[in-house]
Structure 1
Amino acid sequence: PNLFLVTNFVAIPLSSVILIAEIVLCCISFITPLATLAGKLIHQLIALMNWFVELVNGLPLANWKSLQISFAQELLLYVAVAGMSFFFMKRIKASLFITTCGLLVFFLLRTLSFVNALNQQKLIVYNIAKMTAMELIEGRYSVFAGDSEVIKSESIFRFNIAPSRTYHRIRSVYLPAVDGDETLLLSSPKGIIAMARGPVYMPSQVHILVISGNPRGSLRDLLTGLMPGIVVFDSSNPGWRVKSWKQDCVEMNLNCYSVADEGAFVMNLN
């Protein structure tokens, strides 16, 4: 947050007033009319504080988004700040050298992190209850396929998708259109990735098959003779059906992964 000082100028005094009002409410709780009036006043004060915080948060440049540093980079910043502070307090030139070294190593690590981000190839199947969300990451770009509600719901997106994109330094996202039971095919360095909501009819081999949308039938019926490298069941499928499919995988000697049971599926494709 870039405007936290502006927010605190109002939020801190107002929260203090709310705290005092709540103490008063406890003291007069046995006087019903006064307690009711105090409760309504506290409710309005809390609503006012929340409204102001949301108002400031919605202003342009209020937040510096997609900012991500590692723990090592954080420590180096502390070293640099401590060295600079020590220099101003004690006037020891060695502290400037420490500050300079800390900043140099910090920017070196940060540059390496961006280089790694440019070279990353990764598939992520998110663990979102009863929903489909899959992302193929190539460098700082990604292809996202999933339910529209995942993108439209601010809370779901902020909690599940946004942290991953910040961590992987995603700059641009492509959203392909997928209709009904149509199988989505994506190309990766390790082969074809398919996301299916029904039977898969493929003339070529699939490296990763993601089954979503709770399609009916046994796994043999869905694969129609296809033998993928690994089958991933996302969280949109009910547990009882995934359990049956996993048994089919054992019988067919197929690798499988249940997102609902084992967490988000993440595979490096480099």
Structure 2
Amino acid sequence: MSDKNNALVTGANKGIGLAIARQLGERGFAVWLGCRDADRGEKAAAGLRAGGVDARSITLDVADGSSVMAAVARLEEEARVLDVLVNNAGISVGSPPPKVIEEPIDDVRAMFEVNTLGPLRVTQALLPLLRKSAAPRIVMMSSGLGSISDTADMTSLIWNVGAAGYSASKAALNMLTVKLAKALLADGIKVNAADPGYTATDLNGHTGTRTVEEAAAIAVELATLDPLGPTGGFFNDGYADKMGRYRW
């Protein structure tokens, strides 16, 4: 594709994922937009290229092992090395989210398949390419709703929020983040989770208060950490242009 560092962002044809890809491209990365829909992915990539970003779409369904392996094969052939992986793809099922005692198990299973198992599936498959990088970084797009501390805190903003299945899938993703960070420490691969904040996206019917550009900033920060940067953490941008640790 190019002699630039390569970054793959899943779920990147719109919203926060597209904003992350754009910001990484503006920092000089060659960005790969992982998208389930090839046509939408190519349209998004073309838009980035029109803005001067080195971008290419790659068909990738994080819930489909065959799709993941096909994407890996293409990256092995065309990119040869992967420097940044941003596991951004995610879903929320049920609108409005019912109480946990009423939440259909099939809905919860679908969210875990994409939000939790998807990032693990993609990460495991791409480790050989990440290990070829001089400074590999993995970012898990989590959520403040995955914070058990905030969920249990009667004074927190999410005390009355439902979405148990979605929240649990993100809490589980946080645990996988720490486990992966520990397992990959000797490889020099930094793995961190990002909370984008309450952002206006299709996921919440555009009711969020943050822009996708604001939400993308913390993922880009974690994707470009220097050698002394943290690993195994859960971060937001402090909502004031300063990276801050989020409560687990």
Give the TM-score normalised by structure 1.
Answer: 0.30
Larger Rg: 1
User: RCO (CA 8 Å, sep 6+): is it higher in 1 or 2?
Assistant: 2
Give the TM-score normalised by structure 2.
Answer: 0.32
